[in-house]
Amino acid sequence: MKNINKMIILATMLIITSISVFAEVGEDVSIINLISNPEQYNGKKVIITGYLNMEFEENGIYLSKEDYINSIYKNGLWCNIDTGKHSKFNKKYVVMEGIFNARMTGHMGLWSGSIEDISRVWEPIKGKE
């Protein structure tokens, strides 16, 4: 009987943990929406897609590669990212999940906000060539 009770408790804990993990998935939103409606998303977990650049004082995710090339910082978000852990994603289009902070505008205040507490980064599914 003790083993059955332990199994029920363990199963209940696993279910609760699974539910809480799924409940914390960010809202899929475009960088354009974050820039144009920062207060609506401030402090919320979001999933965004953009071009990631990681270099000293310029860790950012941009709306496009062209925005990065032309240093259009306002079309991007500062990223508080672990550059060692995520180095394979540098200078690529990525999907990123983290917390949007409308008030933190990165190095010298150049950016339109930031992504903090980044929980996941991955390459998007390739589209048309």
Bridge partners of residue 45, in order along the sequence: 99
- pLDDT per position as a tens digit, 89-109: 999 999 999 999 999 999 889
User: 100 CB contacts (<8 Å, ≥6 apart)?
Assistant: 34, 38, 41, 42, 43, 44, 45, 46, 77, 113, 114, 115, 116
Q: Is the pLDDT of residue 35 over 60?
A: yes
User: 63 CB contacts (<8 Å, ≥6 apart)?
Assistant: 31, 32, 50, 51, 75, 76
- pLDDT per position as a tens digit, 53-85: 999 889 999 999 999 999 999 999 999 999 899
Question: pLDDT tier at 5 (50, 70, 90 boundaries)?
Answer: low
Q: What was the pLDDT predicted at 18?
A: 55
Three-state DSSP class for 119?
A: strand
Q: What was the pLDDT predicted at 57?
A: 86
- For residue 39, the one-letter residue type is E
Q: What are the residue ranges spanned by the domains of the chain?
A: 26-122
Q: What was the pLDDT predicted at 105?
A: 92
CATH, domain range 26-122: 2.40.50.200
Other C-beta atoms closer than 10 Å to the C-beta of 72 total 14
DSSP 124: P
Q: How high does pLDDT run on average in the chain?
A: 88
**Mean pLDDT confidence for 109-118:** 96
